[in-house]
């Protein structure tokens, strides 16, 4: 009798747990708290009566059963000398939009923001932007030349570079075209493809100001030209005021050497500025008295206004936020209490506050910022929301420490028009439907 009772208790517990997996997290917690797993609880009879047709189902690995992986030895150490994600995370990858560019050598891949936690983007998921493909650079042969209006021109090896004092800082990098396909209307129903050209890492390297001090700048040196070693020889002009501020020549990302697609062996990190200024595979720094007006700062990466004029050198990535859950890839699973979660950032400093609306911007509630909150870095926010199953329009807006408020799309178009593809930092709207699905809309 006791054996049958024990098996019955296990069956009820197993089935109840399976049923709880279908519930939203808040309802699942209430389900557990009310004792529906306890064989001696008052509700077992009801649960058994309602679930008895499923008692013959295949045995699961849920407690109190002992799962198969507990009954055997697993692979030993250094089975994977360099750690890799679990095979159950195989869908958490960068993706590209095949029709967006003619070929992959000059294209973009997008970070899976919907799956990421915290503020640090894993190196293998950091978004990519190439102008001529990814070069394979031998660090033993790579050199960094610093010349121009300096007293002591120099050519540094990687070993030379790493003899200088190092610094580490956490900063986001965002392509200025992030979201740029949406100026004229909603195009893609995906958080990853709409906003996935932003990532955040801890960067380690040498302050650019340290290197410039070492070579001795001449008084007339007001600008810096950074050139990459890729096939496009990507070059950007950077004013000396910024170069001497917080820019670093980075050789490490999240504690390890830069990945090949992130500029191995060295790149610039220009905190808060558009991603193309963070020149990868850095090979040359030239000090001059005026900007060089290169291709990537004249015909490209300028903002065409509604009156036909183009604004150049619009480096700063203005404050922006986006809700990452729910989103098109992360729909809701029935009414109940959810955490609306998202990320916010500003190229001008720290995030001060984030507001969330569930009615398309008519009413706002202040979200909770999750530590750490750092300058020119991603910041997490969340707000508890009880969804009643009715349609909703979810939005977030960030306010940074300068007082800048993330604009609506209408406000942004009034200033910028619709000719540009860069610097679209408008409020994103997610439409939640009664079935829990989430769509990208513009309001």
Dihedral pair phi/psi, residue 235, rounded to 5°: -135, 140
Q: What is the mean pLDDT of residues 77-91?
A: 97
DSSP 150-219: BSS-EEE-HHHHTTSPPEEEEEEEE-TTTTGGGTTS-----HHHHH-SEEEEEEEEEEHHHHHHHH-B-T
Look at 5-9, 15-19, 200-204, 239-243 and tell me which has the smallest mean pLDDT. 5-9
Exposure string over 379-396, b if 16+ CB within 10 A, otherwise e? bbbbbebebeeeebbbbb
Whether the pLDDT of residue 141 is over 50: the answer is yes
Q: Please state, in angstroms and rounded to a whole number, the distance separating the CA atoms of residues 123 and 200.
A: 9
pLDDT of residue 10: 54
Tens-digit pLDDT profile for residues 360-387:
999 999 999 999 999 999 999 999 999 9
Beta bridge partners of 228: 282
For the chain, the farthest-separated pair of C-alpha atoms sits apart, in whole angstroms, at 94
Q: Please state, in angstroms and rounded to a whole number, the distance separating the CA atoms of residues 398 and 400.
A: 6
Tens-digit pLDDT profile for residues 265-323:
999 999 999 999 999 999 999 999 999 999 999 989 999 998 889 999 999 999 999 99
Q: Please state, in angstroms and rounded to a whole number, the distance separating the CA atoms of residues 370 and 118.
A: 9
Query: Are the CB atoms for 429 and 362 separated by under 8 Å?
Result: no
Cβ neighbours, 10 Å, residue 338: 20
Whether the pLDDT of residue 35 is over 50: the answer is no
Name the pairing type of β-strands 368-370 and 365-366. unpaired
Q: Please state, in angstroms and rounded to a whole number, the distance separating the CA atoms of residues 408 and 427.
A: 5
Based on the number of CB atoms within 10 Å of its own CB, is 9 exposed (0-12), middle (13-18) or buried (19 or more)? middle
Sketch out the chain's domains with CATH numbers: 95-312 (3.90.420.10), 320-441 (2.60.40.650)
Tens-digit pLDDT profile for residues 225-281:
999 999 999 999 999 999 999 999 999 999 999 999 999 999 999 999 999 999 999
Based on the number of CB atoms within 10 Å of its own CB, is 18 exposed (0-12), middle (13-18) or buried (19 or more)? middle
User: CA–CA distance from 192 to each of 109, 262, 277, 378, 382 (Å)?
Assistant: 10, 19, 23, 16, 19
- Regarding predicted confidence, which is higher, 40 or 73? 73
Whether the pLDDT of residue 134 is over 90: the answer is yes
Query: What's the gap between Cα 36 and its chain centre?
Result: 39
Q: Please state, in angstroms and rounded to a whole number, the distance separating the CA atoms of residues 207 and 245.
A: 9
Indicate the SS3 state at residue 115: helix
Q: 62: pLDDT confidence band, cut at 50, 70 and 90? A: confident
At which residue do the structure tokens 């509630």 appear?
A: 365
pLDDT of residue 2: 41
Dihedral pair phi/psi, residue 322, rounded to 5°: -155, 140
Whether the pLDDT of residue 45 is over 80: the answer is no
Query: Are the CB atoms for 380 and 119 separated by under 8 Å?
Result: yes
pLDDT of residue 48: 35
Q: What is the mean pLDDT of residues 194-214?
A: 98
Q: 351: pLDDT confidence band, cut at 50, 70 and 90? A: very high
Query: Are the CB atoms for 278 and 301 separated by under 8 Å?
Result: no
When the pLDDT of each residue in the chain is averaged and rounded to a whole number, the result is: 90
Whether the pLDDT of residue 54 is over 60: the answer is no
């Amino acid at each position: 009798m006791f054996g049958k009772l024990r098996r019955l208790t296990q069956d009820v517990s197993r089935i109840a747990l399976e049923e709880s997996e279908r519930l939203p997290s808040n309802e699942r917690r209430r389900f557990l708290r009310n004792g529906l797993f306890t064989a001696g609880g008052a509700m077992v009879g009801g649960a058994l009566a309602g679930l008895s047709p499923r008692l013959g189902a295949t045995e699961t690995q849920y407690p109190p059963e002992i799962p198969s992986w507990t009954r055997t030895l697993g692979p030993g150490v250094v089975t994977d000398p360099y750690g890799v994600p679990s095979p159950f995370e195989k869908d958490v990858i960068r993706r590209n939009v095949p029709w967006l560019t003619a070929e992959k050598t000059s294209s973009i891949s997008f970070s899976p923001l919907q799956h990421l936690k915290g503020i640090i983007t894993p190196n293998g998921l950091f978004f990519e932007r190439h102008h001529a493909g990814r070069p394979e650079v031998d660090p033993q042969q790579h050199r960094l030349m610093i010349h121009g209006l300096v007293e002591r021109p120099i050519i540094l090896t990687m070993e030379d570079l790493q003899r200088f004092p190092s610094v580490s800082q956490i900063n986001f990098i965002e392509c200025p075209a992030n979201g740029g396909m949406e100026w004229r209307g909603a195009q893609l129903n995906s958080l990853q493809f709409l906003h996935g050209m932003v990532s955040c890492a801890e960067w380690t390297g040498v302050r650019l100001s340290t290197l410039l001090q070492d070579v001795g700048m001449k008084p007339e040196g007001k600008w810096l030209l950074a050139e990459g070693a890729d096939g496009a020889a990507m070059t950007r002009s950077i004013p000396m005021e910024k170069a001497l501020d917080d820019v670093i020549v980075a050789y490490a990302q999240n504690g390890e050497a830069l990945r090949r697609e992130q500029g191995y062996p060295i790149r610039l990190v220009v905190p808060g500025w558009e991603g193309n200024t963070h020149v990868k595979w850095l090979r040359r720094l030239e000090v001059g008295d005026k900007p060089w007006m290169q291709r990537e700062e004249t015909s490209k990466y300028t903002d065409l206004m509604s009156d036909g004029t183009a604004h150049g050198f619009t480096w700063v990535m203005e404050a922006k936020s986006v809700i990452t859950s729910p989103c098109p890839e992360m729909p809701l699973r029935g009414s109940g209490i959810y955490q609306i979660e998202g990320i916010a950032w500003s190229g001008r400093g720290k995030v001060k506050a984030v507001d969330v609306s569930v009615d398309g911007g008519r009413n706002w509630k202040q979200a909770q910022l999750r530590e750490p909150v750092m300058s020119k870095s991603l910041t997490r926010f969340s707000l508890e929301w009880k969804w009643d199953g009715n349609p909703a329009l979810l939005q977030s807006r960030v306010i940074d420490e300068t007082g800048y408020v993330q604009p609506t799309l209408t406000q942004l178009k009034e200033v910028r028009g619709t000719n540009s593809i860069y610097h679209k930092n408008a409020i994103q709207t997610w439409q939640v439907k009664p079935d829990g699905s989430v769509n990208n809309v513009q309001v």
